[in-house]
Structure 1
Amino acid sequence: MSTSVVWGTTAFAAEKTPEYFLDTMVVTATRTPVEAFKTNANVSVITSKEIKERHYSDLSEALRMVPGVYIGNYAPAGYDNSNALKINGADEIVVLVDGVKINNVSNRVSAVMLKNMDNVDRIEVLKGSASTLYGSDAKGGVINIITKKPEKISTYFRVDGGSNSVTNYYMGQSGKEKDWSWDANVSRNLSGDFKDGDGITTPSSSKSTSTNFKITKKLSDKHELTATYDSYKADYKYTALWEPALKNGKVDNQNYKFILNSNFDGNTTNVLSFVNLDNDTDFNAYKTKTNTKRITDQLSTQLGNHLLTAGFEFSHDKVITFNGKKMMNRAFFLQDQFDITDQLKLTAGVRHDNNSGFGKHTTPSANLGYTFNN
């Protein structure tokens, strides 16, 4: 078993037993909660404590600290079309927010889209193929951004800044009242020309606005419904050594999601989600406009030493700027986590995809993990 977890803090004190945080619960590797140390997978976790202590201003800054994750761009201005996000050298990566896939039809998710980290509880980074559970888009890995669950009413306003004429404005409110909870925030992010260590100035600028809203209603003891809206709009300019003329770009991305979580008897859970993604980019007069609609359902149940997870995913993609080209994908997956003994665990699964453009594909997987001691 290969497990790599970014620990929140590991304390070593004289004449005291070292304290290891091995009980962090993660969900990305198996689509069900499991201790990070026992996932049979290579998972790194960025906690909200680390985000606060290290002052990460956006998702890209946080991911740069994870071994095996590469992020590159032409300039700090936020030239979205050049943002390269790779895990172990592969750019086939699925990005989730609260377990819901937000990749668009071209499998691109901007690493700078998440500009406000105040409502992030943790970020799980699964390094290695997860195609059985998440499809061929996940050959490189999976990034799952898990947002906080409000416990009390709080409001904030914050301003920070730095080099390259960077100024960031943040404001938001979160709260919980009886069966309702909510979290709303907006950020305005500005940056200017970039000056490197040799004093060379690269003309660039970026003006972006991020808006995030989440509301949850507890329907009963067994069911709760969450609705979210996320928007990222940006205007930017950039130059490169081989492209001295100033280039322009615009981004207008937004999505909304509905998630129904059900916990029937403590041993059986179901998650039903719907997401609509609208992506509109204009890079130096090269326009791309797409729409993605995706429905996913996942049922998990504990049967003795077996934790069975089954589900389906249906997606409808439309490339509006390419004569309204449409594509559909239907997928079914099944996974069994079998505790052979207290130390030996077998995880096996299979996924079948039927794509209107690429045909039918079946992806099996299996891994065996052995825990020598705690």
Structure 2
Amino acid sequence: MNATTSASLAASRPNSWRVVVAASIGNALEWFDLVVYGFFAVLIARLFFPTGNDTVSLLLTLGTFGVSFFMRPLGAIVIGAYADRAGRKAALTLSILLMMSGTLIIAILPTYQTIGLAAPLILVAARLMQGFSAGGEFGSATAFLAEHEPGRRGFFASWQVASQGLTTLLAAGFGVVLTGKLSAGQMAAWGWRVPFFFGLLIGPVAWYIRTRLDETPEFLAAETTTTPLRDTLASQKLRLLIAMGVVVLGTVSTYLVLFMPTYGIKQLGLAPSVAFAAIALTGLIQMVFAPLVGHLSDRHGRTRIMLTSAVLLFVLIYPAFVYLVAHPSFGTLIVVQIVLGFLMTGYFGALPGLLSEIFPVQTRTTGMSLSYNIAVTIFGGFGPFIITWLIGATGSKVAPSFYMMFAAVLSLIALIAARRKLGFS
């Protein structure tokens, strides 16, 4: 890059913290709408899938949660390629409009008791719309954050993870307040809709902020391609495979956290407010700790930090669940969530920075969106469903740890490949 281009980039670079705040608010809202559905899965199961069997109803609800993830690779292709052609800002604005539409449908949708079979069918349609939107969100938001300060790519990209922690904290906060203050009848009648309406209130603000953002200097300085998807699939297959592999542990750990309120209520017999309070702590850890991890990854290398976290997760997750099942209390759940929160964030906090460096600017959003969403669809979206099935099939309440250990092995292999094949430290 010559001196003229460097000066142009410096002149066009907007205030970095304004970028972080704007991108994080919109990203947090996107994920809030998705997370709330998972947190209230037990109640939604009874309202929209009343089979007469609680386990079957829950599996149907979690299956619906997973079905939306089939749309994520499509969203990654369409919105990711759009971001590489038209810019990160345009893609971010489109994704939030789609997410708000899906959320509106869920917020006002009558239950099975009112409109019968149409209720779960419309619910699935709304979830598919949200899945399509989320498919383009991660790549667009991560590229947007990473490209404003390439010298501190890990730190700025980590705010994508921090904003998801804010999402978990907000959603869990709603869970604590609503389940603690409202009766079961009130929750079923209208209480579960409150978080979705909250998302709708914040949505227009987030959309307005995103429309006022400047495009990233790195994207403006690069030569764009009209065929980002074809270019990615033609010449970057190894990068796609490695990127998918490193995402596996990040997504499994994230959706295990998402599943923990359901696990605490159904498997450990804990009060809903207790389960949500423990999850809120995990969200707080992720929100505060992720930027520190991103900063450290800029100084000491991303794969080094991620390898350490992955090994610790593999070693500690089984004894953590054994301890939790043997002593199912609020205090025990808090301890396990603290350990899981720090180790998960230690891995996930460095992940966006690594992904943004695996792919070149011209195909960055397409590559990140595809690799992230394919991995999330296969291993994360159906994670709660797989975990519930594993518990039933094995008869063991520690079965969630088996899935986490499997994910850790896959990601460890991918991280080693990233170091040996792509030269990352």
Sort the TM-score into its range (normalised by shorter chain). under 0.3
- Structure whose alpha-carbon radius of gyration is higher: 1
Higher relative contact order (CA 8 A, sep 6+): 2
Instruction: Name whichever structure is richer in helix by fraction.
Output: 2
Instruction: Name whichever structure is richer in strand by fraction.
Output: 1
